[in-house]
Structure 1
Amino acid sequence: MIGLTSITFRKLTCEEIIRLAQESRAECIEWGGDVHVTDEKTAQEARRGCEQAGIQTRSYGSYYKIGSGQLDAFQKLCEITLALGAQIIRVWLGEQGSGETSPEALTGLVEEGMLLSGIAAEYGLTVASEFHRNTYNDTRETCLAYLKQCGMENLKTYWQPMYAGEDFENLRAVAGQTEVAHLFCWNQSGSRRYPLKKGEKEIGLFLRELRAQGYQGDLLLEFVKGDSIRRYRKDMLCLKRLWEEAAER
């Protein structure tokens, strides 16, 4: 499905985001746990709004960090995910890049990842870690090695471009383990955002690779230039077009 993350518009209400998604014919919304869906009540409200609008929710963007050891807090997040009607809970894999993570710290991440996956399994949920700088899940090698070390069927990954030179190689390697792909166009440092059209050649390559690998997960717009609703509408049209074109290659 093609949709958006609620954090694209942190200043909008849930109702406004649902209306915008409906107007742009987005198929799904990933609700963020920082502003819009913070407890079971807001999760239920967002779920009702989405159901009425014919919009689905597969993923809940939590900000839980594997390695924090807060298992009770994670269980609560699973309850929120369930109330939201989602099947995937997004987490962050540690607080350091893979190059700065010691073997001892990695052991802790693996142990906790297995524990969290076990808790999530009791709720019928999949745990997926953000593919992101300054986490252990920042390269294809560490991503796949971590999943293998944990050995849990309901432990997967996200993917997103980092514009650091190896995005396509990373995607090709981890696509088979990817539940959600976040898409946007910005510069290498992340300090400047661009219209999606500016990066359509590269994004088109990403989407063709996902098509080639039979990707069944969500494609979500995460950031737009200037947090502009007008830009979002154009970027959504661009993403849909590129996804359709990827099927024709």
Structure 2
Amino acid sequence: MIPLAPALCSVTFRQLPPEEIVALARQAGLAAIEWGGDVHVPAGDVALARHVRRITEEAGLLPASYGSYLYPPDHGLEDFRRVLDTCHALGSSNVRIWPGRRNRPSATYDAAERSEAAGLIRAMGELAGGAGISVSLEYHPNSLTDETGSAANLMDAIAHANVHLYWQPRPGLPLDEACEEIARIGTRVSHVHVFAWDGARRRYALAEHAKWWSAVFAALPESRFEGVRYAMLEFVRDDAPEAFLADAATLRHLLDRQGRAPANA
């Protein structure tokens, strides 16, 4: 198992201001936060990004990643430049983008459309690399990474060393299928989004899925991603801070058993 450090996706608490999210992450003993661009740190608001960076770092946490909510090819390079400026102000070394048009299944794309998306993501990876920022693609239903074969083919088409994949399970994904996915794309995975849902998208305490996640963490191979790799908690039961704190304790326990990555490596 490769070492992972525990983190939080700020979108878990869209209803809370950044100050409260920082306090919760610190209380939970996490290492970092992925800040979302939809609510907490909108792209282009450099002053706010600097403020969020300051309060994050003053709490002993890292602003590890920026969830941009860009959807290439719906968004282009000018949109991405604004995102990179925000990343720089936030102090994030990674930016997450959505591969393809929002809420469109990969099976509906023809070859030309896939090529267009891959080419634009490749250009974004090149541009980000010049700024010292890695690009990671959301691994999500209704995107070009909604199925493992599509995700692998997209990465082959992008063919850029600065573009990586996230990984997360489709709700209710059986463990054997999860391990098959990881075996196929794991060397391209930067970070992991962690949650405990069933196929009906009902949420559970992470402790109830601890054996499942322990097996997944153990199956993750080494990656070509060179930075610290994070297991990021996302979307807890009832959106409750108490549920998050319990899940964070479970996550830290799981990662400590496997060998946690140092946050400042």
Whether TM exceeds 0.5 here: the answer is yes
* Whole-angstrom distance in 2 between the partners of 1:170 and 1:138: 11
| Alignment counterpart, residue 56 of structure 1, candidates 62, 66, 81 | 62
State the partner residue of 1:180: 191
Structure 2: gaps of 5 or more residues: 261-265
Q: Given the two structures, how large is their TM-score scaled by the length of structure 2?
A: 0.88
TM alignment of 1:22-171, pairs within 5 A: 22-38=26-42, 39-95=45-101, 96-162=104-170, 163-165=172-174, 166-171=177-182
Indicate the percent of aligned positions where both proteins have the same amino acid: 29
Q: Are the equivalent residues in 2 in contact too, given 1:90–1:128 (CA < 8 A)? A: yes
* Aligned-partner Cα distance in 1 for 2:75–2:28: 40
Residue identity matched to 1:34? D
Q: Secondary structure of the equivalent of 1:94?
A: coil
SS of residue matched to 2:232: strand
Residue deviations 1:156-200 (CA, integer Å, cap 9, x gap)? 11111113342221123222111110000011142x111111111
Which has the bigger relative contact order, CA under 8 A and spacing at least 6?
Answer: 2
Name the residue aligned to 2:25: 21
1:69–1:112 contact (8 Å) kept in structure 2 = no
Count of residue pairs the alignment pairs up: 246
Residue number among 192, 197, 204 corresponding to 1:194 in the alignment: 204
Partners of 2:6 and 2:255 within 8 A in 1:
no
2:239 aligned partner, one-letter code: D
Rounded to whole Å, the distance in 2 between the matches of 1:8 and 1:241 is 20
Q: In structure 1, what is the Cα distance between the partners aligned to 2:233 and 2:194?
A: 5
In the alignment, the residues of structure 2 paired with residue 99 and residue 114 of structure 1 have an alpha-carbon distance, to the nearest angstrom, of 21
Higher helix share goes to which structure? Answer: 1
Instruction: Tell me the distance in 1 between the aligned counterparts of 2:196 and 2:185.
Output: 20
- Equivalent residue for 1:207? 217
Distance 1:100 1:187, change over 3 A: same
Give, in angstroms, the shift of residue 107 of structure 1.
Answer: 1.1
Corresponding residue number in structure 2 for 1:2 = 6
Residue by residue, what CA displacement relative to the aligned partner does 1:185-217 show, whole Å, maximum 9, x if unpaired?
A: 011142x1111111112111111112x547941
Confirm whether residue 240 of structure 1 aligns to residue 240 of structure 2: no
Q: Aligned-pair distance for 1:220?
A: 0.5
The 3-state SS of whatever aligns with 1:68 is: coil
The secondary structure found in structure 2 opposite 1:57 is: strand
The more displaced of 9-18 and 159-168 is 159-168
> Which residue type is aligned with residue 135 of structure 1?
S
- The more displaced of 41-50 and 133-142 is 133-142
Range 162-171 or range 14-23, more displaced: 162-171
- 2:208 and 2:219 map into 1 onto residues whose CA distance is 19
Deviation at 1:26, TM superposition (A): 0.8
Amino acid at match of 1:56: L
Please, what TM-score do these two structures have when normalized by structure 1?
0.93
Residue deviations 1:30-69 (CA, integer Å, cap 9, x gap): 0000010112111101100011111012210010001114
